[in-house]
Amino acid sequence: MKNMTLENIAKACNGTYVGGEAERSVEIKGAVTDSRQVEEGYLFIPIKGARVDGHDFIPQVITQGAAAVLSEKELSDCPKPYILVKSSQQALKDMAEFYRAQLTIPIVGITGSVGKTSTKEMIASVLSRKFKVLKTAGNFNNEIGLPLTLLRIREEHEAAVVEMGISDFGEMHRLAKMAKPDICVMTNIGICHLENLKTRDGILKAKSEIFDFLEPDAHIVLNGADDKLSTIGTVKGVAPVFYAIEGENQKETVDITASDIQNLGLKGMNAEIRTSQGSLKVHIPIPGRHNIYNAMAATGVGLALGLTLDEIKAGIESVETIGGRTNLLDVNGMVVIDDCYNANPVSMRASIDVLKNGLGRTIAVLGDMGELGEKEKQLHYEVGQYVAESKIDMLFCAGTLSEEMAKGAQKAGGCQVFYFKTRDEMLQELLGNLKEGDTVLVKASHFMDYPKVVEAIKNQKN
């Protein structure tokens, strides 16, 4: 890692270097917080968690070949150099900011209430037609995940696509200070993280901190169908590029539009995307209308970085789903839509829209959504209403808040509803009702651990 010597790292994070003089100039080969990922020549950054203190693994990582470690306490008889710091977590952020300042590749920062990861995948797929791209792994988008992502950038990379997720004011400012994105993409302003941000205007204000370190030659790409994002004007001399499906734009004119949409059900969609540089007819291989928006966002980023329309088209058409994100599984003659990574009211509706296109009986297996604030019961009720109004055949739901979801579906009518207090109670009834030809959506917030539902369906005997 260029210029990432132990001496420079110590200076960057206001730490004290402890070790031999010869090792001061050693450049680390990587930096991790997980002891299992330590390789020869790596720097280990111990983080104190609620249950585990990374400092306990310092002896282990040294035997694994770590070049050095950070530490919040003095180490006696340490056979390798270490850097004494007040806070390992702050030191990680300081290191990432120092490293980022030396990079010359374009960095695309993505934020929004919903769709960050799927948009990241689409943008990375498009940019990979021209560049060697590094992208956020999984959802490493917070104040630990983002700096670790930045520290994964190597000389061979020509562009990076990073997620930036927040739940409170000030967080995005700190993320932007590290990443300093050259292209800022905002997908939407929804209704998650209301506990701290209170309103959608609060969410807009917090996420707009992504612009705090914007340079004059930067680019901004925004969803012009979002009523909040559409109010953003020129920022520090940078005029945003807006995208929207034709007829859904909140601004009088937008820069990138999609039209002639052909829904192919679970096989995806066809659409024509129009830009100032021409039009492209594309097949989007992932179901869900929201993926048309992802494709337009990727088009805006691709044009900003000089890709041709043919390159953008090829990138969109080769995008793949990732585990737990609208992943389609063929299980015992059923189609299972594994979208159980996380959930909020907007993403729930998007997933239900995908389920509507299923063949055979359509079955929604849903669970509680977290971090919705004082309106959490009402928001669950409305999701239940949407399930019934979408003419989904059956709803299975579990969790304390999902009782409101069941009530909403029952009130709207037309949907067979099963409610249970716990996921395991629900599973027993669910497995007895499934049959060949069904299309089944599985979705809930992460704490509900719904991957176990998917595994149970997969392991069910015919």
pLDDT above 80: residue 220? yes
- 416-420 sheet: strands from edge to edge: 327-331, 334-338, 439-443, 362-367, 394-398, 416-420
**pLDDT band at residue 399 under the 50/70/90 scheme:** very high
Q: How many whole angstroms separate alpha carbon 449 and alpha carbon 195?
A: 22
Nearest of 264, 197, 258 to residue 224 by alpha carbon: 258
Nearest of 456, 454, 189 to residue 339 by alpha carbon: 454
User: Which pLDDT value is given to residue 37?
Assistant: 92
Paired tokens of 188 = 């939407």
pLDDT above 80: residue 197? no
Q: How many whole angstroms separate alpha carbon 17 and alpha carbon 3?
A: 16
Average confidence (pLDDT) over 178-191: 93
Return the percentage of the chain with pLDDT > 90, whole number: 73
For residues 248 and 223, the answer to whether their CB atoms sit within 8 Å is no
pLDDT above 90: residue 312? yes
For residues 265 and 356, the answer to whether their CB atoms sit within 8 Å is no
Task: State pTM to two decimals.
Answer: 0.78
Q: How many whole angstroms separate alpha carbon 145 and alpha carbon 96?
A: 11
pLDDT above 70: residue 322? no
Average confidence (pLDDT) over 370-387: 91
Q: State how beta strands 327-331 and 334-338 pair.
A: antiparallel
Tell whether the torsion through CA atoms of 226, 211, 191 and 356 is positive or negative.
positive
pLDDT above 80: residue 461? no
Return the percentage of the chain with pLDDT > 70, whole number: 97
Q: How many whole angstroms separate alpha carbon 212 and alpha carbon 203?
A: 15
Average confidence (pLDDT) over 406-428: 93
For residues 183 and 301, the answer to whether their CB atoms sit within 8 Å is yes
User: Which pLDDT value is given to residue 259?
Assistant: 96
Tell whether the torsion through CA atoms of 78, 83, 85 and 89 is positive or negative.
negative
For residues 283 and 289, the answer to whether their CB atoms sit within 8 Å is no
Paired tokens of 400 = 């304390």
**pLDDT band at residue 205 under the 50/70/90 scheme:** very high
The pLDDT tens digits of the residues spanning 9-54 come to 999 999 999 999 989 999 999 999 999 999 999 999 999 888 889 9
Other Cβ atoms within 10 Å of 286 Cβ, number: 25
User: Which pLDDT value is given to residue 68?
Assistant: 94
**pLDDT band at residue 326 under the 50/70/90 scheme:** low
The pLDDT tens digits of the residues spanning 221-233 come to 999 999 999 999 9
Helices (H), 284-442: 290-304, 309-317, 345-355, 376-389, 402-412, 423-433
Q: State how beta strands 269-275 and 278-284 pair.
A: antiparallel
pLDDT above 90: residue 453? yes
User: Which pLDDT value is given to residue 330?
Assistant: 82
Average confidence (pLDDT) over 248-263: 92
From 22-31, 112-121, 194-203, the region with the lowest mean pLDDT = 194-203
pLDDT above 90: residue 392? yes
Average confidence (pLDDT) over 89-113: 95
- 16-18 sheet: strands from edge to edge: 16-18, 82-84, 68-71, 42-44, 30-32
Amino acid at 377: K
- The whole-angstrom distance between residue 272's C-alpha and the CA centroid of its chain comes to 26
User: Which pLDDT value is given to residue 194?
Assistant: 67
pLDDT above 60: residue 323? no
The pLDDT tens digits of the residues spanning 56-65 come to 999 999 999 9
From 84-88, 105-109, 142-146, 402-406, the region with the lowest mean pLDDT = 142-146
Average confidence (pLDDT) over 282-297: 91
pLDDT above 90: residue 181? yes
User: Which pLDDT value is given to residue 289?
Assistant: 85
pLDDT above 50: residue 324? no
User: Which pLDDT value is given to residue 346?
Assistant: 83
Nearest of 329, 89, 194 to residue 339 by alpha carbon: 329
User: Which pLDDT value is given to residue 49?
Assistant: 83
